Structure 1
């Protein structure tokens, strides 16, 4: 555990022993995750508005920051993490509220369909539908359709990165920015950080294999850039990005590789928390570095969408 921040070390030491997700049922994994994120929440940032919306059967949560204007606000579509299998807008409400509050913005999070009931590309299709809906309903939502951004963590960062590529290609409304927290960018799962942090650092390589295998219907889909955005032929013209990485994370190397390509082919601000674990931004009650990362993301967002 050399190099871990004290907060990360304490989190690992205090974690109650439990059955790995992959050793139980999907329903058990979802229940265990729901219990864990409720314990991890810090104080929720104040917002001017919090409501549930529906679009064509898709449930979405909306949070409007206290200083966000009533009309023409910048807006973020936030895709929650959870390996495409677990999680919900509620499990990431802390992140969404904080970004809305800090950026004076509107944040909308879709309750996208989860695997294995709904395989790839169901979650991606729901994210795309949500983004189109935000652009179409901008006036009713009080947001500026020229200042839309996408964001997400882990599997949600994967979805956000792919949506940004689709927007670049004209398949979705244009984007002003993307905010990616330790994104999953290569479903091949062969980067060296998978070996360095295969176990004992929170998210394990075994759990990630389970998530991936539930999400995909065929291993060959890992080659599709809509699953593995690191494999996209080009990132040129994609929306400018903020990328937050955790140093002790099996996804670190693929996230760093994607960030490097974003820097070279587009524009990106990249920050690494070298002593942190995968998922640390969701641990506001226990890890003070979570607030640092969210503040950095909000500040970057304000700059990126002016580019």
Structure 2
């Protein structure tokens, strides 16, 4: 299927990349400038900013409560942004839609970003908030059942790594992992996956941009050979929680996500791989207003309900 016409129109209108090195502060400011005002966001019962006091330090968390209830399942969400971009605000609409569609209380994590915070600071924050959520279950009105992790792009990297780290630590509380077009192999050799070549140019995120965009994270000490950095390199996937791996047809990262799903199934993990035709990388963040892509939230709800 060709690229969705609304996505193609958006990409055609993008300005050319400015020459020279990437400037994180300026790029973050540009992203924040596009955040809609509060009165234009999806309304929920409550949205609260709190500070989670964790073993990794104090971590900003935004809690989305979809409706009034006595108790809730919990989903801990990690935003994308190549480990150096993204915030609670830039992905606020994603967290709101997750809460609305799933009925879960969503905890969005404002983890530390590269390059200011060296590896594994961001990962530590994400893992620590999951443990904090379990420990603070009563104050969160957690019902003691669902405790899912979810993330898009680099947030998907963190979701997979957090699930693996919890397993290795003997923490069995995580019930689901939901990975939206995850970056699971930070070795960007184009010989590794056909999608790195097939979707190299013209679909929004380009293969040539992967190295410079992820350089802030890798240069901070993240080793692509480390399974906590590249979760697809983990040799033993047995015992990990059920997974929903969402990929996009025109995403350079498509094949590594689908490989991870196959490897999970080979390890007898209940894994669903769902490819969205006509979509490119980032469609959950940027194009979930298109009805055929907004259904990713309903698919997430249905996946959670099956397990």
Give the TM-score of the pair, scaled to structure 1: 0.90
Candidates 199, 209, 215, aligned match of 2:201: 199
Judge conservation of contact 2:32–2:89 (CA < 8 Å) in 1.
Answer: no
- Which residue number in structure 1 is paired with residue 61 of structure 2? 60
Cα deviations by residue, 1:15-57 (Å, 9 ceiling, x for unpaired): 3x04359733111111222234549x99643321100010232
Q: CA deviation at 1:142?
A: 0.7
CA RMSD of aligned residues (A): 2.3
TM-score of the aligned structures, taking structure 2 as reference length: 0.90
CA distance in 1, matches of 2:16, 2:34: 11
Which among 6, 10, 27 is matched to residue 25 of structure 2? 27
Taking the TM superposition and a 5 Å limit, the aligned residue runs for 1:211-222 are: 211-217=213-219, 221-222=223-224
What SS does the corresponding residue of 1:141 show, helix, strand or coil?
coil
Aligned with 1:276: secondary structure?
Answer: coil
1:192, distance to aligned residue in structure 2 (A):
2.3
CA distance in 1, matches of 2:51, 2:113: 17
Which structure is higher in helix share? 1
Alpha-carbon separation, structure 1, partners of 2:295 and 2:20: 32
Q: Write the mapping of 1:127-206 to structure 2, written as runs, cut at 5 A.
A: 127-190=126-189, 191-206=193-208
Q: Does residue 1:70 correspond to 2:59, yes or no?
A: no
Partner of 1:45: 42
- Secondary structure, aligned partner of 2:249: strand
Q: Partners in 1 of 2:298 and 2:19 — Cα distance?
A: 31
Q: Distance in 2 between matches of 1:188 and 1:281?
A: 24
Shift of 1:136: 0.7
Asked if residue 290 in structure 1 is aligned to residue 293 in structure 2, the reply is yes
Structure 1 runs (4+) deviating above 6 angstroms are none
Q: In the alignment, is the contact (CA less than 8 A) between 1:178 and 1:241 conserved in 2? A: yes
1:92–1:162 Cα change, 3 Å: same
The answer to whether the 8 Å contact 2:85/2:113 transfers is yes
SS in 2 for 1:94: helix
Partner of 2:305: 302
Return 5+ residue gaps in structure 1 as ranges. Answer: none
Greater RCO, CA 8 A, separation 6+ = 1
In 1, distance between residues paired with 2:90 and 2:223? 28
Provide the secondary structure at the position in 2 that maps to 1:277: coil
Residue 173 of structure 1 and its aligned partner are, at CA, apart by: 4.8
Assess, with a 3 A threshold, how the Cα gap between structure 1 residues 42 and 227 changes in structure 2: closer, same or farther.
Answer: farther
Q: Structure 2: which 5+ runs fail to align?
A: none
